[in-house]
Amino acid sequence: MAVTVSPERDVVATPVQRAFREALYAAAIALGLFVLFIGLKTDQNISNELILVQRWGLLAIVVIATAVGRFLYVGYAQPAMERAKAQKAAAPAAAATAPGFIRRNFNQIGVAVLLLYPVAIVLLFGFQGSLKWVDNFGIQILIYVMLAWGLNIVIGLAGLLDLGYVAFYAVGAYAYALLGTHFGLSFWILLPAAGLMAAFWGVMLGFPVLRLRGDYLAIVTLAFGEIIRLVIINWREVTNGSAGISGIPKVSFFGLMSFNVSDPNYIAKVLGIAQSGAYYKIFLYYLILGLCFLTAFVTIRLRRLPVGRAWEALREDEIACRSLGINTTTTKLTAFATGAMFGGFAGSFFAARQGFVSPESFVFLESAIILAIVVLGGMGSLGGIAVAALVMIGGTEILRELDFLKAVFGPDFTPELYRMLLFGMAMVIVMLWKPRGFVGSREPTAFLKERRAVSGSFTKEGHG
């Protein structure tokens, strides 16, 4: 936060005087900025003519709010922060050495919370009330966690900037949708099949872009994502175009119980409990949670294997890799294939959960959101990425719940329309505050004496 006062004045002025002056400046700037944005509004009158509506009251509120905010910030918040900083500097050792209980056991707590989440929700809201919380929040967030963890292999570990990741998600979803509806194959067969198919397309994409680096790679992967989407839209005979595929079979409980009410082995009939759609959602929740754990397990394991180290080495310096006898071609392709495979898993799960797929679910915005989650979370860090997914996806979902805002802003206010605005603001703030994402440091994969996190200032983002 730049303080715009010159140092000579700073010596004379007390914080409150300074705050007052700053508040005046801020008010003037806000007035200049918003006089056309807020003070005037174009509208149509009853005879369809363009008229200017003047909203001086609202403008005044905004300007005063800005001035008061600046006054409080400069006059009170800033000195308070300075004091806190000075206090921290005075007693540094205690705070630095002992991270809190939550910090130390972050992963264990996270896993426990995820496992107990549906139980807690059902206890709190009952089966019917749990639907929204398990489905919209739990499953939705976990899908993005999984996608981001998959993309993390490509971007965070191997340093290959892939802007078309959603293509593999689409391949996985359509693989399940088409094979499931046409051949009636079970989810449990099609899940690995969809993963393999996505991995195959990952290699297909990998081959032509092997020689590309940085921006060029990003452009070609972006194009690849669009190509897959356009093929899906236009290849009507197979994919039914933009109308999409509906009636995709549900996942069964490992073939033992079904979640279709009409089936003889419907879960409620088998177990002798009341009918409810919540069983399926809870089952899906644990299914995607299992897939996420699989992704995390494989990622953690791979990092400690030579191939994972080669990915990270590739991100750091490709030429040095070649001088050490690492085949960079296969290393890049395995990164693309592994990342794509998890995208494919997530895609087939998505198709099974929705029961309907259409090209609209696989637009570039999805790729961008997944990428944003990876970058916000901190490239390479699973925990950070999970938190970022929770914030980004959970945050946008929670906007739908903010009905009380209607009371403030009027009945035609729909908070979810401000999704992208908040999304962008959140990204800017986080990137200012933590340029390397929530978790900027890197865990070494091997150690002689003690495991010490590598600061983000040493790791590279990769350029190829």
Contact 384, 453 (CB under 8 A): no
Closer residue to another protein, CB minimum distance, 145 or 337: 337
Cα–Cα dist 403/89, whole Å: 44
Closer residue to another protein, CB minimum distance, 74 or 199: 199
Beta pairing partners, 50: 44
Contact 461, 217 (CB under 8 A): no
Q: Minimal CA–CA distance to 166: which of 300, 347, 21?
A: 347
Closest separation between CB of residue 458 and another protein, Å? 4
Closest separation between CB of residue 159 and another protein, Å? 10
Q: Minimal CA–CA distance to 439: which of 353, 369, 373, 340?
A: 373
* 186 CB neighbour count, 10 Å cutoff: 13
Q: Minimal CA–CA distance to 134: which of 361, 275, 288?
A: 288
Closest separation between CB of residue 368 and another protein, Å? 26
Closest separation between CB of residue 304 and another protein, Å? 8
Closer residue to another protein, CB minimum distance, 88 or 451: 451
Closer residue to another protein, CB minimum distance, 276 or 441: 441
The Cα diameter of the chain in Å comes to 84
Cα–Cα dist 323/159, whole Å: 19
Closer residue to another protein, CB minimum distance, 417 or 448: 448
Closest separation between CB of residue 77 and another protein, Å? 36
* Sequence letter at residue 49: E
Instruction: Kindly list the residues in this chain that would bind another protein in the complex (CB under 8 A).
Output: 298, 301-302, 304-307, 309-310, 312-313, 315-317, 319-328, 334, 442, 444-452, 454-455, 457-460
Closer residue to another protein, CB minimum distance, 236 or 460: 460
Closest separation between CB of residue 303 and another protein, Å? 10
Cα–Cα dist 200/414, whole Å: 42
Radius of gyration of the chain from its Cα atoms, rounded to whole angstroms:
26
Please report which residue ranges of 355-447 form alpha helices under DSSP H: 364-377, 382-389, 395-399, 404-409, 419-433
Closer residue to another protein, CB minimum distance, 132 or 434: 434
Closer residue to another protein, CB minimum distance, 74 or 321: 321
Say how far residue 298 (Cα) sits from the centre of its chain: 20
Closer residue to another protein, CB minimum distance, 230 or 300: 300
Cα–Cα dist 86/93, whole Å: 14
Closest separation between CB of residue 74 and another protein, Å? 38
Q: Extract long-range pairs of 228-236: CB within 8 Å, 24+ residues apart.
A: 228/164, 228/167, 228/170, 228/171, 228/201, 228/362, 229/166, 229/167, 229/170, 229/359, 229/362, 229/363, 232/170, 232/174, 232/359, 232/362, 233/359
Closest separation between CB of residue 263 and another protein, Å? 36
Closest separation between CB of residue 213 and another protein, Å? 14
Closest separation between CB of residue 440 and another protein, Å? 11
Closest separation between CB of residue 233 and another protein, Å? 37
Q: CB within 8 A of 152, min separation 6: which ones?
A: 299, 339, 374, 379, 380, 382, 385
Closer residue to another protein, CB minimum distance, 46 or 448: 448
Element (H, E) at 41: strand 40-44
* Sequence letter at residue 26: A
Q: Minimal CA–CA distance to 203: which of 171, 234, 179?
A: 171
Closer residue to another protein, CB minimum distance, 379 or 392: 379
